[in-house]
Structure 1
Amino acid sequence: MAEFVDNFSDLKELGVDCDVTELDQTFERAADHLPRLLSNLDDQILLTLYAYYKQGKEGVCNTAKPSWFDFKGRSKWEAWNKLKNMSQEEAKTLYVETIKKIDPNFECKSTKEKDSWVCVSTLQNTRDLVDDDKTIVDYVKEGNREKVQELLKTKTTDYINKLDENGMSLMHWASDMGSVDIISDLLGLGADINMQDSDGQTALHYSSSCGHLECVRFLLSRGALLNIEDNDGLSPVDVANDRNIKELLIF
């Protein structure tokens, strides 16, 4: 086999991208993180991020200017076109720096074994807590199914479907972590699979934006709705970045 794969050109034909840099990876992580921040961003920041993203991905603006009747499309085009001949590398760098200014806790390097997605609970470290101080949410974030099952025995359906101080239910936390087993346990105890958090997002939104493919498959198999929109009008497919997940969510 090696004699047939002997240069970068051969590898690219096999779908291996040999030109991916650390900046590219950080840029993609920043884009993956953006859905978490949408509720706190104004239109001008969103237009700026849109322009940097398009310039970073495609280079100089290469599309025709939308008509006066397409106000939204025209605004996006003007923001992108304003960058003129800015290099793709500079645009990617500015995109990442903008995300970091919005959320100083954004980590440029993945904290997970799999170099991919940023979850809400990434910033919610429970390792330093002693067991007596941990709540059921802490155990969900740890993926400690046995402890979660033990604590669920004392919880009512109303509690399971209640939003906490972060505006999330246990289903949202479990979906954020991609814990299919815990999600299954919660559903068995009456958890609402389509419950929306304080931003209007469902468990399917969380699993989709965090890239948890198996979790998405499971939620769909249990009746999760595809067409629920959050407070920004985004459905689960709109916040998904993984191609395989997008394919699952297309009607």
Structure 2
Amino acid sequence: MATDDEGPEFRERFQKACAFVKIVSADLDSEQLLYFYARYKQANDGPCSTPKPGFFDFKGKQKWEEWNKVKEMTAMDAMTEYMDALTFIAPDWELSVSDHKSSVQLFQFWSQVDSGKVKLCMGQAVSTMRSGDNGKLKDEQKTLFDWCVEGHVAKVEECISRDRKCLTQKDDNGMTLCHWTCDRGHLDMLRLLLRNNVDVNSRDADGQTPLHYAASCEHEEVIELLLSHSADINIRDEDGILPSEATENPSIASLLSSVT
């Protein structure tokens, strides 16, 4: 648990930051919510000590992984990163919060995140605010993956024309352009990648294929397109999970189970 060593003013500012995130949570994407969630938990509960959820509990696994990534972080550093990240995406947030919410209200909010009542995207998430805030970057600062996440087909096509090696390039989580495309459900981007013979069965750091991502995010048209280009439904990730087991949607699970 966090101590009072940081001082009452510091902790009060942190509480106000938490209150502001609660207010704007509907406008935050999954990466941002996960980033804040992990640091809130680290600041208030200390290092993650709960067992890792199985893959079928996809949202629970995401939250556990993000919290576990910051297990070495002090409570003060966790609160500092929380507030710095919020200032980055909303510089005037302190002017919008005249008084922080009660500890009970904030606990209830993050408990709702824990229980899934505050929805997080089911796709693979990264732990940096930069990836969750691509729109704040200037064009010259954006990477190939930024353009892919945004669904900017022309920019990605331009990169491919310059160097086809980008089709196999992976980010820090082992995700390729195809993984990100299937996570976000960008059909036109996927068509571009398929025209350029992208590997639809590439695996990320957890052994998950683009089909795992499309299934967990319930992008049915993306799944159908992948299957029409020989995506393998029988590849298991490191937890032994098939793409058909990575979704709670019965029709998608049936689609992935009935392919011959």
* Structure 1: unaligned runs, 5 residues or longer: 1-29, 43-92, 111-116
Change (3 A) 1:145 1:107: farther
Whole-angstrom CA distance in 1 between matches of 2:66 and 2:236: 17
One-letter identity of the residue aligned with 2:160? L
Q: Greater CA deviation, 166-175 or 30-39? A: 30-39
Residues paired across the two proteins, number:
160
One-letter identity of the residue aligned with 1:149? E
Residue 60 of structure 2: aligned partner: 34
Partners of 1:178 and 1:215 within 8 A in 2: yes
Whole-angstrom CA distance in 2 between matches of 1:222 and 1:180: 13
Whole-angstrom CA distance in 1 between matches of 2:117 and 2:171: 25
Residue 222 of structure 1: aligned partner: 229
Change (3 A) 1:170 1:193: same
TM-score under structure 1 normalisation?
0.55
Q: 2:217 pairs with 199, 210, 218, which one?
A: 210
**CA deviation after TM superposition for structure 1 residue 32, in Å:** 5.2
Partners of 2:147 and 2:156 within 8 A in 1: yes
Q: 1:132 pairs with 140, 145, 164, which one?
A: 140
Partners of 2:202 and 2:210 within 8 A in 1: yes
Partners of 2:62 and 2:125 within 8 A in 1: no
Whole-angstrom CA distance in 2 between matches of 1:107 and 1:147: 36
Change (3 A) 1:118 1:181: same
Whole-angstrom CA distance in 2 between matches of 1:216 and 1:35: 22
One-letter identity of the residue aligned with 1:34? G
Kindly report which structure 2 residues correspond to 1:7-46, keeping only aligned pairs within 5 A, or say none: 33-34=59-60, 36=62
Whole-angstrom CA distance in 2 between matches of 1:38 and 1:239: 17
Residue 193 of structure 2: aligned partner: 186
* Structure 2: unaligned runs, 5 residues or longer: 1-55, 69-106
Structure of higher RCO (CA pairs closer than 8 Å, 6+ residues apart)? 2
Once the two structures are superposed, what CA deviation does each residue of 1:122-146 show, in whole Å capped at 9, x if it has no partner? Answer: 9622010000000111111111112
TM-score under structure 2 normalisation?
0.54
Partners of 1:213 and 1:244 within 8 A in 2: no
Partners of 1:35 and 1:239 within 8 A in 2: no
**CA deviation after TM superposition for structure 1 residue 39, in Å:** 6.8
SS of the residue 1:126 aligns to: helix
Identity among equivalent positions (%) equals: 31
